[in-house]
């Protein structure tokens, strides 16, 4: 697989395609399918717990199994696919995703569902990593982040449309049909990629060893750390939003999907607006978003008492989710000729944040700091992310200064 982005690293013209918009749309449909299965599984937890005859804590292991599959699968699938052309690799990854989500819907018991959810998570990170490389290779260098953001719109729109649809379907006709819906979305993605994605020959020098070379670069680790820690605040609030809405805001349970939808709209707006700034000043935009998240998460405990102020703040917190798109482009910039692994690892970092934020937020609640304390926890995580960002920027400037002196 040719893992470098021509437009990004060499100034070469973008990959030729007569259907750039349709290619990005096809990739976004895959993101929509992945976002739907990832987030809808959380909302359907009581349904499949009852259907499989297990309690809620045990059913929660199914969610963890998928996240573990993402963390493990992102580097492994990318390294194994190092010499596979991007288009073919995308088709393989989405075929795996489709198969194992379909089998999830056919799970005869809890143990098989646990296995199928883990396997369904394996292609998740690698798909987004390769899709980001494909999207960025189709456009000039000064539009890369916007192209990646457009591809990620599938994931963010899933939180507004796909998750409510799958949840409704699960309640109306059974949770198994929700996974069948995801499998059908996977089939649609496979068909669209097969028709519209351009053929890109593999790089003759590509190899698993070269992909692993990304792990030798300090800036790759710093960028991953920004995401794994700085992004955790968003999940600290999102995870407990339903409880906060009922316990603190004192709204009825049926209002929860509307507030979750507001969060999804914020995510979508962020990925539509922020990448244009990032294409002009990538790291400055990343730092600005971390500051934005620090403020919005810190305001959350004060906003939680009223549904209108809560909704506004949740929308603004969602905008901060554009950090994921920016870090995706940053990883492609700092990974040299090992961009595939670096881009995929962004989703390992994303799922690390998804585990860290709720864990620390839950500890704060358990120790008596109140239901709104995840807002303070999230703000603190964003501060830590900003500190790592500062180290990254300073190290890069020192490196550039040393290079200038050598010349």
The reported pLDDT for the residue numbered 60 is 72
Report whether pLDDT(2) > 70. no
Mean pLDDT over 123-133 rounds to: 88
Mean pLDDT over 363-377 rounds to: 90
Q: For the chain, what is the radius of gyration of the CA atoms?
A: 20
CA–CA dist 199, 80 (Å, integer): 19
Highest mean pLDDT among 77-81, 102-106, 231-235, 256-260 belongs to: 102-106
CA–CA dist 400, 149 (Å, integer): 28
The reported pLDDT for the residue numbered 204 is 66
* Percent share of the chain, pLDDT over 90: 36
The reported pLDDT for the residue numbered 11 is 45
Residues 6+ positions from 71 with CB-CB distance below 8 Å: 125, 348, 351, 352
Which stretches of 116-234 are assigned E, i.e. beta strand? none
Q: Identify the structural domains of the chain with CATH numbers, from first to last.
A: 16-202 (1.20.1250.20), 207-400 (1.20.1250.20)
The reported pLDDT for the residue numbered 14 is 58
Q: Which phi-psi region, left, alpha or beta, contains residue 255 (left: φ > 0; alpha: ψ -120 to 50)?
A: alpha
First to last CA, the chain: 34
CA–CA dist 369, 14 (Å, integer): 52
**Whose structure tokens read 């096809």?**
26
Q: Give the model confidence (pLDDT) of 181-236 as tens digits.
A: 999 999 999 999 999 888 766 666 666 666 676 678 889 999 999 999 998 888 88
Report whether pLDDT(87) > 70. yes
State the angle between helix axes of 282-303 and 373-406 in degrees (0 to 180), rounded to the nearest 10: 170
Residues 6+ positions from 251 with CB-CB distance below 8 Å: 245, 307
Q: To 5 degrees, how large is the angle CA 353–CA 354–CA 356?
A: 60
Mean of pLDDT over the chain: 85
CA–CA dist 299, 319 (Å, integer): 15
Find out whether 33 and 165 touch, Cβ atoms under 8 Å.
no
The reported pLDDT for the residue numbered 132 is 84
Mean pLDDT over 337-345 rounds to: 75
Residues 6+ positions from 399 with CB-CB distance below 8 Å: none
Residues 6+ positions from 265 with CB-CB distance below 8 Å: 160, 315, 318
CA–CA dist 224, 229 (Å, integer): 9
Q: Give the model confidence (pLDDT) of 22-60 as tens digits.
A: 999 999 999 999 989 887 887 677 788 888 888 766 777
The reported pLDDT for the residue numbered 10 is 41
Highest mean pLDDT among 146-160, 229-243, 322-336, 378-392 belongs to: 378-392
The reported pLDDT for the residue numbered 8 is 43
């Amino acid at each position: 697989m040719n893992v470098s982005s021509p437009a990004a690293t060499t100034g070469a013209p973008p990959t030729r395609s007569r259907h750039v918009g349709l290619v990005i749309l096809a990739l976004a449909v895959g993101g929509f399918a992945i976002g739907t299965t990832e987030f809808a599984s959380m909302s359907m937890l009581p349904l499949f717990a009852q259907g499989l005859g297990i309690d809620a804590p045990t059913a929660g292991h199914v969610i963890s199994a998928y996240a573990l599959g993402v963390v493990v699968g992102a580097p492994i699938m990318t390294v194994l696919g190092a010499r596979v052309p991007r288009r073919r690799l995308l088709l393989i990854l989405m075929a795996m995703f489709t198969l194992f989500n379909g089998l999830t819907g056919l799970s005869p018991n809890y143990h098989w569902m646990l296995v199928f959810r883990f396997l369904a998570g394996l292609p998740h990170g690698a798909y987004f990593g390769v899709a980001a490389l494909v999207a960025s290779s189709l456009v000039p260098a000064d539009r890369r982040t916007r192209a990646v953001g457009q591809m990620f719109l599938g994931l963010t729109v899933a939180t507004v449309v796909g998750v409510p649809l799958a949840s409704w379907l699960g309640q109306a006709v059974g949770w198994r049909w929700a996974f069948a819906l995801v499998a059908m979305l996977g089939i649609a993605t496979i068909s669209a990629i097969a028709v519209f994605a351009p053929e890109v020959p593999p790089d003759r020098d590509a190899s698993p060893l070269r992909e692993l070379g990304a792990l030798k670069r300090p800036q790759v680790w710093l960028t991953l750390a920004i995401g794994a820690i700085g992004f955790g605040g968003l999940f600290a609030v999102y995870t407990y939003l339903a409880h906060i809405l009922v316990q603190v805001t004192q709204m009825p349970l049926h209002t929860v999907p509307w507030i979750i939808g507001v969060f999804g709209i914020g995510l979508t707006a962020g990925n539509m607006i922020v990448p244009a700034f990032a294409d002009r000043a990538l790291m400055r935009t990343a730092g600005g978003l971390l500051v934005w998240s620090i403020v919005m998460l810190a305001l959350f405990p004060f906003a939680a008492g009223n549904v209108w102020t809560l909704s506004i703040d949740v929308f603004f917190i969602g905008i901060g989710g554009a950090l994921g798109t920016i870090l995706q482009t940053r990883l492609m910039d700092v990974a040299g000729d090992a961009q595939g692994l670096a881009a995929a690892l962004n989703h390992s970092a994303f799922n690390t944040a998804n585990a860290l934020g709720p864990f620390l937020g839950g500890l704060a609640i358990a120790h008596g700091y109140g239901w709104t304390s995840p807002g303070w926890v999230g703000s603190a995580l964003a501060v830590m992310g900003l500190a790592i960002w500062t180290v990254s920027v300073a190290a890069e400037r020192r490196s550039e200064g040393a290079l200038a002196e050598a010349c």
